[in-house]
Chain A
Amino acid sequence: MAKKINISINGLAAEIAEGKTILDAADQMGVIVPTLCYHKDLCVAGNCRVCVVEVVGQKRLAAACATPCEEGMEIMTNSLKVRNSRKHIIELLLSEHESDCTKCYKNGNCELQELASEYKIMTQDFIRLAPLKNYTIDMFSPSIVKDDSKCIRCQRCVRTCAELQGVNALTVAHKGDEMKIATFFEKTMNDVVCTNCGQCVNHCPTGALVEKNYIEEVWDAISDPNKHVVVQTAPAVRVGLGEELGLPVGSRVTGQMVAALKRLGFDSVLDTDFTADLTIMEEGTELLTRLKKALVEKDQAVQLPMATSCSPGWIKYIEHMYPEYLGNLSTCKSPQQMFGALVKTYYAKARKIEPDNIVSVSVMPCTAKKFEASRPEMHDSGYRDVDYVLTTRELAIMVKQAGIDFNKLPQTEYDRLMGDSTGAGVIFGATGGVMEAALRTAYEIVTGREVPFKNLDITPVRGMDGVREASIKIENPVKEWAFLDGVELKCAIAHGLVNAKVVMDAIKSGESNYHFIEFMACPGGCLGGGGQPIPTNPEIRKKRAEAIYAEDAGMPLRKSHENPEVLKIYEDFLGEPLGEKSHHLLHTKYITRDRF
């Protein structure tokens, strides 16, 4: 038990565990202290000073987020001194911030705007400083727009990029009035080591970092009578979209989402979960093939452990940071890109539509997917496989624009042909989900039996620890896989790129002996992706994960290899996993990128 100390806040006494900050104490007592630079995912910076409070007896005010409670502290969170100072600070921030709110993408979802409204800053007495002389608006990245004129220099993005992702694409440059958040040598975002993960966007309190939106392009496509617009929705979108449309965190809105997409005018509403299942078939087979080559044929060229390739942020990260391990990546495209390649081939043929007239749109919890769709490799259908990528947030905007009352929508089913999915596809949205789905299928292929876990829930791979390990022993396999008898399949899961680094460094140093590793760029996996509703924090991600697993538990089919449409596509079109057609459409290559 931690030692308790006695303090008082606004005259109310309380006992607080030693080591807690004033902000923690206030939170515990139900006193709200406004914050800006503080974020539950990040280390304490204490630089916006919005959270200042008065400690009786001290000349200066203390930043609540950065000041530990001490025995006997008398804290005032709303004294005149505090109010006046706080107001001043908000006014100062507004003076350097391009506060033309109606023209801002984040209008209505901006923490600075909220504060200004709360403190009723009605006048602008201070001299307007924005935009600062060395500001830029960087629109070069296909994923992220960085607008310095809206930056309040809270450094949340800097800490996000360093602490959650270990990428350090964004850092602080210059000092004094020229201090700004900048990339390496102030190059454009598309030209630096940035994984496009969008965590900076998720953590930005203002409109300084936002996703590059493709809303108008998609509206144009929908309105074009000559175009057949197909939309696919990623697993994590169904547990995030509700939040953005006013429902509680962790609401599952699959049925309403499909209904909304139909009302928006998409010609066909399909499910990325279908290609998630397909990924499992391809990736599972690839893993077993690699194991066979390594264990039976003793092929030295086979690279193990095999790493998943669903997360485009992770892919760009490894291309930059560990290019010598590109051979360890599964050659499978991500479900989004498999889907894109199939829409303009298999789907087009089956539905007798010219692929030229198909516009393929995806709704993703991710900003890196926008980059992925724009990669030159992703044209295997003969066209750009995925034309536009929308984030969960952009879809919510479209739903609002279309005047759809989301709450009143009926539960609707996905369209058929690439709309069928299993629980295994759904859990792709959570960290550990790809691993779990792969194990459910691979174990059954090898042994002919279901994975030895109650209700197929492979709980050791679930959870929110940054790096998790699991192993599963293969006993009594079927004849074809007899060589795997007694082999303990060692797996690891890492989410958040700092954790990916931990695992990669362990591989590099030879400390680890995994067979299969799931990497996800974002904390919590896709459900915590850079395109998901803002705010994000550990509790929110936990609730979204619970929703994902509830969705899985409620599915009639929960193993990828039982997806009837997956079986059908192999029968009608692809042939077999890792077959020639698969190889052409569903697999890809990676490139080595610079570290600078």
Chain B
Amino acid sequence: MVAATYQLKRADFIFKNENDWEKVLSKTLESEPRELINELMSSELKGRGGAGFPTGLKWKLSSEEKSKTKYVICNADEGEPGTFKDREILTKVPYKVLTAMAVCGHVIGSGKGYIYLRGEYKFLVPDLEKAIKEFEYYCKEIGFKFTIDIFMGSGAYICGEETALFESMEGKRGEPRNKPPFPTSIGYMNEPTVINNVETLAHTYTIFKYGSKKFYDLGVQYSRGSKLFSVSGDTPKPGIYELELGMSLQDFVSEFGDGDTKAVQVGGASGFLVPRKRFEETTIGFQGKLTGISLPTGGSMMLFNSSRSMFNVLDNYLDFFNEESCGQCSPCRVGCQQLLKGIKAVKRGEKTALYLDKLLKLSETMQMTAKCGLGQSVGNSFSSIVENFREEMIY
């Protein structure tokens, strides 16, 4: 457990299980959708998948759509390298997620929920199905029409992107769609859809149970509430921790580092690498005016000590993207190949060090022009690693 000298503000909501979901559900369903949306809005909960879209606004937009059929989808395609929190939520407190989905159904006017489960999490299915069965039984008992199905992913990282996820569910190739239109108006089966990350849904449970204030009081401005962090890498205590947002990276490293931390990758392969010299000025949370450098994260925190080659780290990430790009849009499909082959060529001396600058510009183009979040975020890790560890790329 966390030591006494702990500088970080620990929170304990997600995994605290008082087994009261039936009470929370029936109580919440008594409230008007409008009230619930207001509650969510005032909590300032933002999406915990990494992109940080205000959850209340998402539900509000969907609730305003006129369509008869709407869907609630729980995105459990947890594929970001270094993230393993959703699995834990679904194992330990599945009822919180199911309850939140049903409440969302109540708010937006939907009777159908889906859990899009990562292919590798197949082993969760029997327990989850049991929970769903019990949950649906209770819904029936209280006269609330809401059913939930599990849809299994097949292992493609891109299907965690919400529109690619819809395509996958519709039986098509998992390729992201053009946005706009956004899922809140045209989502799964071209119907208005709320799609939330597992953790986001679990947080709404907290908010519905305790009220928005309790959640809002945690964290800092623009980054309210707590968040689960998947801590891995060179750390003596890897695992999942619920911490308040807005902490400084320095505090985080003091707690979790092994004393020799050279850099931390915040947000997985699609996130940013922060070198030691920037630990102090970096906070973990969403972009805002108050904070200096503030990095959002889906929860992945990978620590690297001085024994690690940052070239190898980048090579690994790019290899991952190279394989997991859907291949649809040119900046991502070809860009990933060029970045990967490019750093190898520089390392081998086939291209001069100046070629790294050309690649940095390319990664900028990818950020600006790729069709979806995958291609847009390849440049994050690329530029933050190459800029901070240029010498490791060359020699």
Interface residues in chain A, defined as those with a beta carbon under 8 Å from any beta carbon in chain B: 44-50, 52, 59-61, 63, 66-68, 81, 84-85, 88-89, 92-93, 95-96, 125-127, 129, 152-153, 155, 171-172, 174-179
CB of B153 closer than 8 Å to a CB of A: no
B 280-322 contacts with A by CB, 8 A: 321-322
Cβ-defined contact, B365 with A85, below 8 A: yes
Chain A: which residue is nearest B355 at the CB level? Answer: A125
A129→B368 contact, CB < 8 A: no
Residue of B nearest to A158 (CB): B173
- By a CB distance below 8 angstroms, the chain A residues around B361 are 84, 88
Chain A residues with CB below 8 A from B376, complex form: 60
The smallest C-beta distance from A310 to any residue of chain B, in angstroms, reads 35
Contact of B338 among A48, A63, A81, A127 (CB under 8 A): A127
**Known contacts A85-B369, A88-B365; is-contact A177 B323 (Cβ 8 Å):** yes
Residue B187, interface by CB 8 Å: no
Nearest-neighbour CB distance to chain A for B123, whole angstroms, equals 25
Q: Does B334 have its Cβ within 8 Å of any Cβ on chain A? A: yes
Q: Closest CB of chain B to A590's CB: distance in Å?
A: 32
Q: Are the CB atoms of B369 and A127 closer together than 8 Å?
A: no
Residue of A nearest to B325 (CB): A176
- A93 & B325 in contact (Cβ 8 Å cutoff): no
Give B356-395 as 1s and 0s: 1 = Cβ < 8 Å from A's Cβ atoms: 0010011001011111000010000000000000000000
Residue in A92, A155, A174 with the greatest tally of chain B CB atoms within 10 Å: A92
Residue of A49, A96, A155, A178 contacting most chain B CB atoms (<10 Å): A49
Task: List B residues 146-197 near A (Cβ within 8 Å).
Answer: 156, 158, 173, 175, 178, 180
Chain A residues, CB < 8 A from B338:
92, 95, 126-127, 129
Complex interface: chain B residues within 8 A of A126 (CB): 338, 342, 362
Contact of A176 among B180, B327, B330 (CB under 8 A): B327
Question: What are 8 A-to-B residue pairs whose CB atoms are below 8 Å?
Answer: A49-B331, A67-B178, A68-B180, A92-B334, A129-B337, A172-B173, A172-B328, A176-B336
Residue among B156, B325, B331 making CB contact with A92, cutoff 8 Å: B331
**B9-24 at interface with A (beta carbon < 8 Å):** none
Question: How far in angstroms is the closest Cβ of chain B from A52?
Answer: 5
Measured CB to CB, the closest approach of chain B to A497, in angstroms, equals: 20
The A contact surface, by secondary structure, is: loop
**A81 & B158 in contact (Cβ 8 Å cutoff):** no
CB distance from B379 to the nearest CB of A (A): 11
B277 CB, nearest partner CB in chain A, Å:
26
- A128 to B, closest residue via Cβ: B341
| B324 and A176 contact, CB distance less than 8 A | yes
Inter-chain contact A179/B178, CB cutoff 8 Å: no
Cα(A171)–Cα(B341), bound, Å: 27
B329 adjacent to chain A (CB < 8 Å): yes
- Rounded to whole Å, the gap between the CB of A224 and the closest CB of chain B is 47
Report which of A67, A95, A174 forms a contact with B334, defined as CB distance below 8 A.
A95
Residues of chain A within 8 A of B334, CB atoms compared: 92-93, 95-96, 129
Known: A60-B376, A125-B358. A177 touches B368 (CB 8 A): no
Residue of B nearest to A36 (CB): B330
Question: B178 to A61, Cβ gap below 8 A?
Answer: no
Does B41 interact with chain A (Cβ within 8 Å)?
Answer: no
Complex contact B341–A172 (CB within 8 A):
no
Q: Name the residue on B nearest A126 (C-beta).
A: B338
Q: Which A residues are in CB contact (< 8 Å) with B355? A: 125
Beyond the given pairs A92-B335, A129-B341, 11 more chain A to chain B contacts, judged by CB atoms under 8 angstroms and listed by A's residue number, are A47-B371, A48-B330, A60-B369, A60-B376, A84-B361, A88-B362, A89-B331, A127-B341, A152-B330, A153-B333, A171-B173
Closest Cβ of chain A to B226, distance in Å, is 28
- Residues of B contacting A47 in the complex (Cβ-Cβ under 8 angstroms): 328-330, 371
Residue B345 CB within 8 A of the other chain: yes
Contact status A84-B365, CB under 8 Å: yes
Quick check: is B326 within 8 A (CB to CB) of the other chain?
A: yes
- In the complex, what distance in Å separates the CA atom of A48 from the CA atom of B331? 8
Contacts of A84 in B (CB 8 A): 361, 365
Q: Which of B180, B330, B342, B358 has the most CB of A within 10 A?
A: B330
Chain B: which residue is nearest A155 at the CB level? B328
CA gap between A50 and B329 in the complex, in Å: 10
CB distance from A158 to the nearest CB of B (A): 10
Q: Determine the chain B residues whose CB is within 8 A of the CB of A44 once the complex forms.
A: 178
Q: Of all chain B residues, which has the CB nearest A92?
A: B334
Point out the residues of chain B lying under 8 angstroms from A45, CB to CB.
Answer: 328
For B338, give the chain A residue with the smallest CB separation.
A126
A375 to chain B, nearest CB (A): 34
Q: Which residues of B contact A60 (CB under 8 A)?
A: 367-369, 376
Bound: A81/B368 CA distance, A: 9
In the docked arrangement, what's the CA distance between A174 and B338, Å? Answer: 19
Complex Cα distance A578/B327, Å? 55
With A152-B330, A153-B327 as contacts: A177 and B371 at CB distance below 8 Å: no
B337 contacts A177, C-beta separation under 8 Å: yes
- Chain A residues contacting B326 (CB-CB under 8 Å) are 175-176, 179
How many Å lie between the Cα of A562 and that of B74 in the bound state? 71
A127 to B340, CA, bound (A): 10
Contact A93 B367 (CB under 8 A): no
Could you say which of A46, A155, A171, A178 contacts B371, with CB atoms under 8 Å apart?
Answer: A46
Q: Contact between B369 and A49 (Cβ–Cβ < 8 Å)?
A: yes
Top 9 nearest A-B pairs by Cβ distance? Answer: A179-B327, A92-B334, A66-B178, A88-B365, A176-B323, A46-B178, A47-B329, A176-B325, A85-B365
- Contact of A177 with B329 at beta-carbon distance under 8 Å, contacts A46-B178, A88-B361, A127-B341 already known: no
A126, B338: Cα distance in complex, Å: 7
Given the complex, which residues of B lie within 8 Å of A176, measured CB to CB? 321-327, 333, 336
With both chains docked as a complex, state the minimum distance between the C-beta of A92 and any C-beta of chain B, in angstroms: 4
Contact with A along B261-280 (1 / 0, CB 8 A): 00000000000000000000
Q: Assess whether B158 is in contact with A175, with CB atoms less than 8 Å apart.
A: yes
A50 to B175 Cα, complex, angstroms = 18
- CB-CB < 8 A to A174: which residues of B? 327
**Min distance, Cβ A589 to any Cβ of chain B, angstroms:** 38
Decide yes or no: A63 and B371 within 8 Å by CB, A129-B341, A153-B327, A175-B324 being known contacts.
yes
Which residue of chain A is the closest to B158 with respect to CB atoms? A175
Across the two chains, which residue of chain B brings its CB closest to A58?
B368
When chains A and B are docked, how far (Å) is the Cα of A88 from the Cα of B369?
10
CB neighbours (8 Å) of B322 from chain A are 176-177
Among residues of A, the one whose C-beta sits closest to the C-beta of B321 is A176
Q: How far is the CA of A47 from the CA of B178 in the complex (A)?
A: 9
Give the residues in chain A near B321, CB-CB below 8 Å. 176
Contact: B330 with A92, CB < 8 Å?
yes
Query: A125 CA to B376 CA in the complex, in Å?
Result: 22
- Determine the distance from Cα of A583 to Cα of B333 in the docked complex, in whole angstroms: 56
**Chain A residues closer than 8 Å to B362, beta-carbon distance:** 88, 92, 126
Contacts of B330 in A (CB 8 A): 47-50, 89, 92-93, 152-153
Provide the bound-state CA to CA distance between A71 and B51, in Å: 26
Minimal Cβ-Cβ distance residue in B for A86: B369
- Residues of A contacting B180 in the complex (Cβ-Cβ under 8 angstroms): 67-68
- A88 → chain B, closest Cβ, in Å? 4
Of A127, A153, A155, A174, chain B has the most CB atoms within 10 Å of the CB of: A127
Q: Please report the C-alpha to C-alpha distance between residue A461 and residue B207 in the assembled complex, in whole angstroms.
A: 65
| Contact indicator B173/A177 (Cβ below 8 Å) | no
Q: Which of A46, A48, A95, A175 contacts B323 (CB 8 A)?
A: A175
- The CA-CA distance from A364 to B334 in the complex, in Å, is 38
Distance A126 CA – B363 CA, assembled complex (angstroms): 13
CB distance from A586 to the nearest CB of B (A): 45
Closest to A90 in B: B330
Q: How far is the CB of B178 from chain A (nearest CB, A)?
A: 4
Q: Provide the bound-state CA to CA distance between A92 and B341, in Å.
A: 13
Report B218 CB to chain A, min CB distance, Å.
29
Report Cα–Cα, A44/B177, bound state, in Å. 10
Q: Are A175 and B325 in touch, CB under 8 angstroms?
A: yes
Known contacts A88-B362, A125-B358, A176-B333: A61-B327 contact under CB 8 Å: no
Q: Specify which chain B residues have a CB less than 8 angstroms from the CB of A89 in the assembled complex.
A: 330-331, 365, 369
Residue of B nearest to A132 (CB): B337
When A46-B371, A61-B368 are in contact, do A177 and B333 touch as well, CB less than 8 Å?
A: yes
